[in-house]
Chains A and B, each alone.
Chain A
Amino acid sequence: TQLLEQSPQFLSIQEGENLTVYCNSSSVFSSLQWYRQEPGEGPVLLVTVVTGGEVKKLKRLTFQFGDARKDSSLHITAAQPGDTGLYLCADEGGSEKLVFGKGTKLTVNP
Chain B
Amino acid sequence: NAGVTQTPKFQVLKTGQSMTLQCAQDMNHEYMSWYRQDPGMGLRLIHYSVGAGITDQGEVPNGYNVSRSTTEDFPLRLLSAAPSQTSVYFCASSYRRNPYEQYFGPGTRLTVT
Contacts and interface: CB of A to CB of B under 8 A. Distances in A.
Interface of A: 30-31, 33, 35, 40-45, 48, 50, 88, 90, 92, 96-103
B76 interface: no
A102 B98 CA distance: 22
Interface of A is mostly: loop
A44 B43 contact: no
A48 B48 CA distance: 21
Interface in B59-113: 59, 90, 92, 96, 98-107
Nearest to B58: A97
Given A42-B90, A43-B43, A88-B42, A98 B100 contact: yes
Contacts, number: 60
Given A41-B107, A42-B105, A98-B33, A33 B42 contact: no
Report which residue of B4, B90, B100 has the largest number of chain A beta carbons within 10 angstroms of its beta carbon: B100
B45 interface: yes
Interface residues of B, number: 27
B42 A42 contact: no
Contacts of B43: 43, 88, 90, 100
A95 to B, nearest CB: 10
12 contacts: A31-B99, A33-B101, A42-B105, A43-B43, A43-B104, A45-B103, A50-B99, A97-B45, A98-B45, A98-B102, A100-B43, A103-B42
B21 interface: no
A92 B100 contact: yes
Contacts of B92: 42
Contacts of B40: 102
Contacts of B44: 100
